[in-house]
Structure 1
């Protein structure tokens, strides 16, 4: 169904899986924490059969991709640069980008900073950065985001991730992750340097933020003018429902809320998500 590859994307060696005709419209699927390319196993086949060239990378620090040392290597503008370099390394100038969780945060940054390379944008349970800063001021969201603050500690989060990492997949619908799935994840987390790389996303987020290099005096510097679809699982235990309210920053936005799905919306509702993706991404 899919093939595995490695490619030099800028200064980073990235591992990815690919499916579908090589000449098809390119769709890049970006996973979140604590997953890797396998987050999209229910989407790869259907999108490929619909004629898309589908690429799902392991992001920087994850699974089989390169894991640079140091927190600074995980700034959002660097992560966004990895994806644009991957698109170029695949011989393309543009791609539709689909991101979940941290992959969604990276996808937002790509659409804000390099809109010329994003054909269409799909976000699954990841807030627009301006919405995130606003809602994170609320105590209710801070309580839900307790793990972000825990991850700022040295070494301890890494020590606990592999033996207790299943907690990070909590809140999903029963059966969405099988024991075999969880075994795949434990092996990915156990890759040398992966635990630190994954957690450094959160350390860099609090240390450097998401607006480095943007003109803070420009009120429109985070506008997204690309056609955008947001798919939001309303039973998200980590994010308040208001985190999906991106309309002021995304004029061309379609928001679809799935009331029975959790944060792991593409696993809980794969048929609905796939139908939404294929309808929205058709050229």
Structure 2
């Protein structure tokens, strides 16, 4: 069932599936995905009795595509996630985020711990660890594209023609590369998703911190050692930014964990959910 959630003058389509009385798992996709990136993960979660909420995020659908990078600041994006939980009656949830969805998961976990039962973050290190790696490793070379997309208009024109090939070259399965690229086939379709990067660049230019602070909720971080965009230093230093129960899962994989390793992703989520239950259940 797809439910439109109104927030900030926008309508976010949310795929609400699984047992209605199950614990809620909020699934946040990244670039250039959509909620369908979880299609091979959610059956495992539903079988375990969990309810999943997977929004198509701001910028990715015509009904939620504000103009200007100011509409894509991380604080605003976090507000969207909280609005989804509020609208669908979820006081607390287990959050799972990949890529940019992982950035939001870290911010939710650090700044709104009362709304989260746990966090499982895929690929994206804690923003504080990422910032450290940017000055103490070769991470800037891996992150070259975040600077390239700051240029207006030209990235949209180039990606509208090259996105399918770029995604395939980056290891995304063919069927997923075709599906995502079809949804972002014109320059206008790409502007919203790219504004996430531009808003982050504007935040850095204004010297506003990207570090949400330490995380106290139970957290699992899964990272692919062959990820071309996110290196080992930030992945290993993420532990320093989590003060609650923590598990690091290293996979022999690249960046696209939900699509390429859905079983392992589901196992990581379920292990975190179950361990959180054990920690909160009285003896």
1:97, 1:242 → 2: CA distance? 24
> Secondary structure of 1:85's match?
helix
List runs of 5+ in structure 2 lacking aligned partners.
Answer: 278-283
Query: Pairwise mapping of residues 59-78 of structure 1 onto structure 2 (< 5 A)?
Result: 59-63=57-61, 65-78=63-76
Compute the RMSD of aligned alpha carbons: 2.3
Structure 1 residues 43 and 114 mapped into 2: Cα distance closer, same or farther (>3 Å)?
same
Q: Which residue of 2 aligns with 1:39?
A: 37
CA displacement 1:199-241 (0-9 Å, x = unmatched) = 0111111111499988x9xxx9601000000111111011111
Q: Which residue of 2 aligns with 1:171?
A: 170
Of 214, 217, 235, the match for 2:226: 235
CA displacement 1:105-157 (0-9 Å, x = unmatched) = 01111112211101100000101111111111246211111111110101011
Q: Which residue of 1 aligns with 2:280?
A: none
Query: Pairwise mapping of residues 84-233 of structure 1 onto structure 2 (< 5 A)?
Result: 84-138=82-136, 140-166=138-164, 167-168=166-167, 170-172=169-171, 177-178=173-174, 180-190=175-185, 193-209=188-204, 222-233=213-224
CA apart distance, 1:13: 1.1
Q: Which residue of 2 aligns with 1:270?
A: 262
Structure 1 residues 118 and 165 mapped into 2: Cα distance closer, same or farther (>3 Å)?
same
2:212, 2:102 → 1: CA distance? 18
Structure 1 residues 52 and 110 mapped into 2: Cα distance closer, same or farther (>3 Å)?
same
CA apart distance, 1:271: 1.7
List runs of 5+ in structure 1 lacking aligned partners.
Answer: none
Structure 1 residues 95 and 213 mapped into 2: Cα distance closer, same or farther (>3 Å)?
farther
Q: Which residue of 2 aligns with 1:49?
A: 47
Structure 1 moving runs of 4+ over 6 Å: 210-214
Contact 1:30–1:103 at 8 Å: present in 2 too? Answer: yes
CA apart distance, 1:44: 1.5
Contact 1:76–1:210 at 8 Å: present in 2 too? Answer: no
Task: Identify the structure with the greater helix proportion.
Answer: 2
Structure 1 residues 10 and 72 mapped into 2: Cα distance closer, same or farther (>3 Å)?
closer
1:281, 1:191 → 2: CA distance? 39
